[in-house]
Amino acid sequence: MATGLDSAEGLSRRRPGRPVRAARLRLSGLFWRHPWAKALLLLAPPLLAFGLVYLAALVALFVSSFWTVNPFTTEIEHVWTLSNYRTLWDAGAYHQIAYRTIGIAAVVTVTDAILAFPLGYFMARIAGGRSRAFVFVAVLLPLWSSYLIRVYIWRLILDNDGVLNWSLRKVGLPAANIGYSNWAVWLVFTYVWLPFMILPVYGALERIPESFVEASRDLGASAFTTFRRVILPLALPGVVAGSIFTFSLTLGDYVTPLLAGGASSQFIGNVVYDSVGVSNNVPFAAAFAAIPLVVMAVYLLIARKLGAFEAL
């Protein structure tokens, strides 16, 4: 270290501001000898900000779910009670909403995986450089263009006077009229989250070394066996990584059920949204929001076991 400082002294001799530079060098030396100090200095601000806001917020969510709202004054009463959870447990309507939310989230995830896998396979293993880049951008741009707009456009398409019914009429088929139904919710969710599934699936498929496939074929496996025994297991973490997004995003949404769904399309998110925006019952909303939190926590633990975090 001493030699390093000496040569640096020599370098700085030709410049003004020597004391400043010497101090800077001493500091650099200090960080070099004590990497811990640097790591701490770098990590402390983001971790503090995160801990003070996000983790504290999750704790606040959990705590306030045990509070209640006084029905007369609409003030929050800071008394520990299980009454919010009891309401959720007792009312069958809330069970139905929870099942619908989780069910549609699961179906959307499976649909997206089915749509995404062949496309990812084509991109990773068949397409040439140019068409691969083209498809990549074609998937990436919708991912980043406005979520709200992409939900809204389906309202226009599925409307009774929309493009879908117009096209069906043109080819002589009866009108579909699936607007404002759970079918519409499924379709719109599948549409908006599809790029989130495609990218990790493609990423996982692309990382499979060609030599693995060749080895499998050399050892006499058929194309199908190679696919089933080599490619599919290696691509699975990518599918699971994508499913974290499709499942979680559907679980936590209220915009699509509200805009694309009908009277019987209420999601957990809609109840939470109404509790905060209309009836001003934050503790009850917090209690209902705890359900997707728990579901996702379990899901993430399983995903971690399946190696999805490396494919994120």
Give the separation between CA 291 and CA 154, rounded to whole angstroms: 29
Residue 231 contacts residue 213 (beta carbons within 8 Å): yes
The piece of 86-94, 140-148, 177-185 that touches other proteins (CB under 8 A) is: 140-148
Q: What residues from 152 to 171 belong to the interface with other proteins (CB under 8 A)?
A: 152-157, 159, 161-163, 166
Q: Binding other proteins by CB under 8 A: which of 87, 107, 142, 208?
A: 142
Does 21 engage in binding with other proteins (CB under 8 A)? yes
Give the separation between CA 90 and CA 106, rounded to whole angstroms: 25
Q: How far is the CB of 55 from other proteins (least distance, A)?
A: 8
Q: Binding other proteins by CB under 8 A: which of 17, 18, 32, 222?
A: 32
Q: What is the DSSP string of 234-269?
A: HHHHHHHHHHHHHHHHHHT--HHHHHH--TT---HH
Site string for other proteins, 220-249 (x = CB under 8 A): ---x--------------x--x--xx--xx
Does 37 engage in binding with other proteins (CB under 8 A)? no
CB nearer to other proteins: pick between 104 and 285: 285
CB nearer to other proteins: pick between 233 and 277: 277
Does 277 engage in binding with other proteins (CB under 8 A)? yes
- With a CB cutoff of 8 Å and minimum separation 6, the contacts of 160 are 175, 177, 179
Q: Please enumerate, as own/partner, the contacts of 226-229 that have beta carbons within 8 Å and a separation of 24 or more.
A: none
CB nearer to other proteins: pick between 72 and 170: 170
Does 266 engage in binding with other proteins (CB under 8 A)? no
Element (H, E) at 88: helix 83-90
Does 215 engage in binding with other proteins (CB under 8 A)? no
Handedness of CA 124, 126, 129, 132 (dihedral sign): negative
Give the separation between CA 113 and CA 109, rounded to whole angstroms: 6
Does 45 engage in binding with other proteins (CB under 8 A)? yes
Q: How far is the CB of 182 from other proteins (least distance, A)?
A: 19
Amino acid in the structure at residue 258: L
Q: How far is the CB of 44 from other proteins (least distance, A)?
A: 9
Return the closest-CA partner of residue 122 out of 237, 1, 205, 25.
205
Does 54 engage in binding with other proteins (CB under 8 A)? yes
Q: What residues from 103 to 132 belong to the interface with other proteins (CB under 8 A)?
A: 115-116, 118-119, 121-123, 125-127
Q: How far is the CB of 58 from other proteins (least distance, A)?
A: 5
Q: Which residues pair with 69 in a beta bridge?
A: 76
Give the separation between CA 288 and CA 274, rounded to whole angstroms: 12
Does 185 engage in binding with other proteins (CB under 8 A)? no
Q: How far is the CB of 71 from other proteins (least distance, A)?
A: 18
Q: Binding other proteins by CB under 8 A: which of 81, 96, 146, 222?
A: 146
Q: Binding other proteins by CB under 8 A: which of 113, 139, 184, 235?
A: 139
Does 186 engage in binding with other proteins (CB under 8 A)? no
How big is the site for other proteins, counted in residues (CB under 8 A)? Answer: 114
Handedness of CA 201, 204, 209, 214 (dihedral sign): negative
Give the separation between CA 269 and CA 101, rounded to whole angstroms: 9
Give the separation between CA 254 and CA 266, rounded to whole angstroms: 8
Does 309 engage in binding with other proteins (CB under 8 A)? yes
